[in-house]
Amino acid sequence: MNYLLIFFLFIISFVNSEENYVRISIVPEYEQNLVTVLISVNQIDKEKGEFSFSLPNNTDSSYVIKKNDDGGLSFNSINYFIDNNIKWLNIPFYQNESAFMILTNKYQDMFKRTFNYQLSFSKNISQLDIEIQEPLMAKDFLYSGFSGAISIDSHGQKTHRESIFDLAENEIMDISLEYFNDSGTTTKLELNKILKLNNENKKNNNLNFKNDKKKVKRYKLYILETLIALFLIIIFVTIILHRNYYNIIICNKCGYNIKMKDLFCSKCGEKR
């Protein structure tokens, strides 16, 4: 199950000893066309009995996440109950720290996505850290229920995050979001496209670098060839001039140059 990666990122920052500290991460359409909600609860006031929290309106299934002896994670199905048309999960009083994964029903309609969560707790919450991950393929993304700071990762995915303190027992946070998914894809598929494109660009850059190196070497070769040709021309001309110089004599009468093979001066007719 590929939610392990999401949960790993979710759980590593869950370090807080506050009584009834809760962290919630709402992740629309990461791997499937549904919403995943990850919830961590740190419960210390054992004497007050069970602790319950509500689930999203269109919850399909819920799982408790446990750490195995080998360090891995397991996802075990857990039943929810319905009270006043709201779905709830119970956390037994003996569990200090608990983690859950909630899956909603898959989207059936094309393009437009909506999600609503009437979030409530059966006890006072000292601190609630809540975040919504904006899908990479989302258009006209809107959410309500809190006003979070925005962070953007290296792939351009936005996360809206806020910390809320002293949330009263049974107080309701009405969290909603909506956006358009015209392609019908998921964040994971979009991430794969980005990584593939980055790898292709990296390969192309490496190929261009190699080609540039070849061009530089070939340019140097052209210069060397030109210099060699020029040197050979100079030697050839020198030899010609040298030969012509030693095959010429000067006329004793007029001073005109006479070739060695000529018996008379071509200018004045004097015999050499």
Give tens-digit pLDDT for 13-59: 444 556 688 999 999 999 889 999 999 888 756 566 678 999 998 99
pLDDT of residue 245: 47
pLDDT of residue 243: 47
Amino acid residing at 270: E
pLDDT of residue 231: 58
Task: Report the candidate in 104, 123, 180, 117 with the shortest Cα–Cα distance to residue 146.
Answer: 117
Task: Report the candidate in 155, 119, 112, 144 with the shortest Cα–Cα distance to residue 37.
Answer: 119
142 in helix, strand or coil? strand
Cross-strand bridge partners of residue 144: 176
Strands (E), 68-157: 73-77, 81-83, 86-91, 97-104, 111-119, 125-133, 139-144, 149-152
What tens-digit pLDDT sequence spans the chain (272 residues)? 455 455 545 554 444 556 688 999 999 999 889 999 999 888 756 566 678 999 998 999 999 888 778 877 788 899 999 998 899 998 876 567 788 999 999 998 778 999 999 999 998 899 999 999 999 999 999 999 999 899 998 878 899 999 999 999 999 999 999 999 998 898 888 888 887 876 766 666 666 666 665 555 555 555 556 666 565 556 555 554 454 444 566 677 776 666 666 677 777 777 76
pLDDT of residue 270: 75
pLDDT of residue 135: 92
Q: Cβ neighbours of residue 13 under 8 Å, at least 6 residues apart?
A: 23
